[in-house]
Amino acid sequence: MAQIKANGVALEYDVTGPADGVPLLLIMGFGAQMTSWTPRFTAALAEAGYRVIRFDNRDVGLSQRFTGTPAAKDVAAAVAAGRTPDVPYVLTDMAADAAGLLDALGIESAHIAGASMGGMIAQLVALDHPKKARSLISIFSTTGDYALPKSSPEAQAALLTQPASSARADVVAHAVKNRRVYASTRWPYDEANVAALAGAGYDRAYYPEGSVRQYAAILASPPRTERLKSLSLPALVLHGTADTLIPWQAGAHTAACIPGSEFVLIDGWGHDIPVPGVAMITDYMTGFLRRAEAARERPAAAA
């Protein structure tokens, strides 16, 4: 892992796979470090021939930290009143970070994949920086449309409640208990694996203050419903029927907004990427990426 300046922000990043592989940028979700894209997940994509780029979003992991503590209720009230919320940054800034990372690495364009909040950011990379995006993969994410079904109360509480203390044991126990609420039902919930990932994340960089600002960025960012209708790139939307945090209807809506997109709804998949599901999820991704690359090559061959 290394650090680089992108869009004026210091970002921690990692590259896996062949140096001459087709670039694939992975963008992780709310409060999650790039290591949430697990070695098994990234290895599956690298072994398929892709140059896989992961990074810590601003305000999480080892990337640059910001200041300010916006209250979610104040941000929501400002949005409801049609005012511009007072927040340190919004999702378009985070999309500019992602595009800037590709520039800093000398990568002209890449396939852009994001999970949850990362899917929102990936959508904005495709919208705001179209020359950087070869394709878009939106994973259990949303357009942000206000009419869409909301998180279940239990899932919302699981996402936003805090551990009993900042001690490692409390943070890990909190993660194990709460991630179960929006986990997949298709596969058994693996407490040991969730605990191991949560513990590794704590040891690498425990910084809950950044999550407050990231949540404010989500609340302060307008829906992408109408803008997504203008996209003209290959797009894949993956979602699961067991997702109680971002219900599957949000994925269906995302796909409906993007002309020609592919929508895959997986029975029993929740808001997680469990080990038994990695092969299936990455198979969907690599199949789509091969089709997207083939579509890029056809116009070049015709010319």
Q: What pLDDT is attached to residue 97?
A: 98
Whole-angstrom distance, CA of residue 298 vs CA of residue 303: 9
Q: What pLDDT is attached to residue 303?
A: 47
* 8-state DSSP, 34: G
Whole-angstrom distance, CA of residue 88 vs CA of residue 228: 25
Q: What pLDDT is attached to residue 300?
A: 55
DSSP string, 2-25: EEEEETTEEEEEEEES-TTSEEEE
Question: Which residues lie closer than 8 Å to 283 by C-beta, 6 or more apart?
Answer: none
Q: What angle do CA 235, 240, 241 make, to 5 degrees?
A: 135
**pLDDT digits 0-9 by tens, 27-48:** 999 999 999 999 999 999 999 9
Residue ranges of domains in the chain, CATH in brackets:
2-152+212-302 (3.40.50.1820)
> CB of 114 within 8 A of CB of 140?
no
**Residue ranges in the chain whose pLDDT is less than 70:** 299-303
Helix (H) or strand (E) holding 225: helix 225-228
Backbone φ, ψ for residue 273 (5° rounding): -125, 80
**Token pair listed for 5:** 């300046």
Whole-angstrom distance, CA of residue 42 vs CA of residue 16: 7
DSSP string, 170-200: HHHHHHHHHHGGGS-SSS---HHHHHHHHHH
Whole-angstrom distance, CA of residue 106 vs CA of residue 222: 31
Helix count and strand count (H, E) for the chain: 11, 8
> CB of 3 within 8 A of CB of 34?
no
From the list 7, 3, 211, the residue with the least C-alpha distance to 92 is 7
Measured over the CA atoms of residue 198, residue 201, residue 205 and residue 210, the dihedral's sign is negative
